[in-house]
Structure 1
Amino acid sequence: MVEWPGFYPCTCIAVDAQAYGERNDRRQSETQHDLPRLLDRAARGAGYDRAQWQIQRKGDEQLAVRPVDGTEPRLVDDYVRHLAAELREYNSERVPRARLRLRTVVHQGLVELADNGFAGRPWWPRRVC
């Protein structure tokens, strides 16, 4: 991977809630409060500390960026597996209409921390896990 000035090889983890716009105001608020907690618990379960990641938040979605460090196979396997388990537990207590469904993608590429988020296109082409 070629480095550009200011751009560094990173692993990007994008997550968003499916059909967020179809939810009423209360459900949207609940999603925005619960999503970071689900992601944090999944990371802890996989042995990661999301406080060490650069995170761009936007309502029902998050883009997390972390340096390439050789643990990417564990991230794809363990983190995604723990996220699925956390989501199952979360949804087990909700009626079908209130259940949360997430889309996630893990990708690698060059990223720059810009003034208003991240610059770079490492998350395309998009792959849903």
Structure 2
Amino acid sequence: MSPTPPAPNWSAPIWSASGVLQHGMLAVDIVGFGRHDPALHTYLRDALYRIVTNSLAQIGVPLQSCHREDRGDAVLVITPASVSVEPLLGHWIHQLRAALRHYNQISAATAQLRLRVGIHAGFVKADHYGVAGRAILHLCRLLDAPAFKTALETSQSDVGLITSDYLYQEVVRDGPGLIDPATFTPISVNAKETRGRAWIYLPPPPAGIPQPPATPSTICAPSQTRTARGPRSHGLHRGPGHRH
């Protein structure tokens, strides 16, 4: 008989209740990660985590209170069931963009980041290996939708957001808080078993920041180990005195 797997190391605020609960969820992917110098990969991943961590903290959601899974060039975050999805679609996406804009302003062209973001909500079940549920699969399909990747690449925005038709109808359409439904555009999603409509938000590109090439990538694949030397020899910052 196989031994019982060790207890999962999840954050207690999320998984304190048993059973299947409804959660907000987000995934953030580095666009064109494979086109960056491999020696920068560790540095860029660190920047991604700092941007996500700091922006979530700005809306009162510590990353330590969330379940998170590393995806190599992306991160999947499941927020506690007590956290409303409304601030994720409104205040958080603006904080994320502000943190990204600051990072790009003080970084060299070789280290510029663009991010693809997906937000959804649904029922999640945790086990000893991670999390599962149709909602998580749907989020991954949205983020990997070819129409979304093409729209972001064409727009040259620094951030692209995609959300489900479910969240658009239930939250975005009413325009609560900082959410402006007029800035969302419908697209068709045709990815594996997922067929339907989603909504994207593509803010105008920030002025004065070099735009790296956008290359579609698949983000919800299992994480792959990447190693790289530190970025000191690559001129990642624009001038002296900048530190992350």
TM-score range, shorter chain: 0.7 to 0.9
Which amino acid in 1 is paired with 2:52? L
The aligned counterpart of 1:96 is 109
Mapping 1:59-70, distance limit 5 Å: 59-69=72-82
The aligned counterpart of 2:142 is 126
Judge conservation of contact 2:24–2:83 (CA < 8 Å) in 1: no
Q: Secondary structure at the match of 1:59?
A: coil
Q: In structure 2, how many angstroms separate the alpha carbons of the residues matched to 1:23 and 1:49?
A: 29
Count of aligned pairs between the two proteins = 125
Gaps of 5+ in 1: none
Pick closer, same or farther for the CA change 1:70–1:64 going to 2, 3 Å: closer
The aligned counterpart of 2:46 is 33
Which amino acid in 1 is paired with 2:65? Q
> What TM-score results when the alignment is normalised by the length of structure 2?
0.47
Mapping 1:63-82, distance limit 5 Å: 63-69=76-82, 71-82=84-95
2:69 matched to 1:56? Answer: yes
The aligned counterpart of 1:116 is 129
Judge conservation of contact 2:85–2:121 (CA < 8 Å) in 1: no
Q: In structure 2, how many angstroms separate the alpha carbons of the residues matched to 1:78 and 1:41?
A: 13
Per-residue Cα deviation, 1:53-89 (whole angstroms, up to 9, x for no partner): 0111122211111233362211211111100000000
Judge conservation of contact 2:36–2:110 (CA < 8 Å) in 1: no
> What TM-score results when the alignment is normalised by the length of structure 1?
0.85
Gaps of 5+ in 2: 1-17, 144-159, 162-244
CA RMSD, aligned part only? 1.9
Mapping 1:9-48, distance limit 5 Å: 9-48=22-61
Q: In structure 1, how many angstroms separate the alpha carbons of the residues matched to 2:81 and 2:65?
A: 13
After TM superposition, where is structure 1 displaced by more than 3 Å over at least 4 residues in a row? none
Structure 1 or 2: more strand by fraction: 1
Following superposition, the deviation at residue 121 of structure 1 comes to: 2.5
Kindly indicate whether structure 1 or structure 2 has the higher relative contact order, using CA contacts under 8 Å at least 6 residues apart.
1
